[in-house]
């Protein structure tokens, strides 16, 4: 399911970057890592991606601001899955309200990501 997908990981924590990247690469995905929202926006302007996994709290520009920019300024419909360390209902609602497609609590496994993508009808 993830084979050959171009996935942009927005994550400032080095350990989380390594874990998520490793698992996605094992699934056959092509991975690019951005350490803050500014880098996410730069990557979106440089290339095309199939999916963004977006940490919410990053330095400079956070995941919320980056998502708003992607949706409003770039007018992109790219699937964005929020990666959150918490499971707060208000935070989940905020993610959806600004245009993210879903929210997954970290740490997560590839199976959980795949089930989320299928549930959303993003990838079959």
Q: What is the CATH number of the domain that holds 21?
A: 3.40.50.2300
52: tokens are 């963004």
Provide CB contacts within 8 A for 98, sequence distance 6+.
64, 67, 68, 71
Note the pLDDT of residue 51: 95
Cβ(2)–Cβ(114) under 8 Å?
A: yes
Give tens-digit pLDDT for 10-27: 999 999 899 999 999 998
**Residue 1 located in a structural domain:** no
**Residue 123 located in a structural domain:** no
Give the range of the structural domain holding residue 76, as residue numbers without chain letter.
6-115
> Would the pLDDT of 124 be above 70?
no
91: tokens are 């935070």
Give the number of domains in the chain: 1
């Amino acid at each position: 399911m993830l084979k050959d997908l171009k996935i942009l990981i927005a994550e400032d924590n080095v350990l989380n970057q390594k874990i998520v990247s490793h698992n996605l690469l094992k699934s056959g995905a092509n991975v690019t890592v951005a350490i803050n929202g500014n880098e996410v926006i730069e990557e979106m302007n440089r290339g095309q991606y199939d999916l963004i996994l977006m940490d919410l709290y990053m330095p400079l520009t956070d995941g919320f601001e980056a998502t708003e920019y992607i949706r409003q300024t770039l007018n992109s419909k790219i699937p964005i899955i929020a990666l959150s360390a918490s499971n707060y209902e208000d935070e989940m609602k905020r993610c959806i309200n600004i245009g993210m497609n879903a929210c997954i609590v970290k740490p997560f496994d590839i199976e959980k990501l795949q089930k989320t993508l299928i549930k959303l009808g993003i990838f079959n």
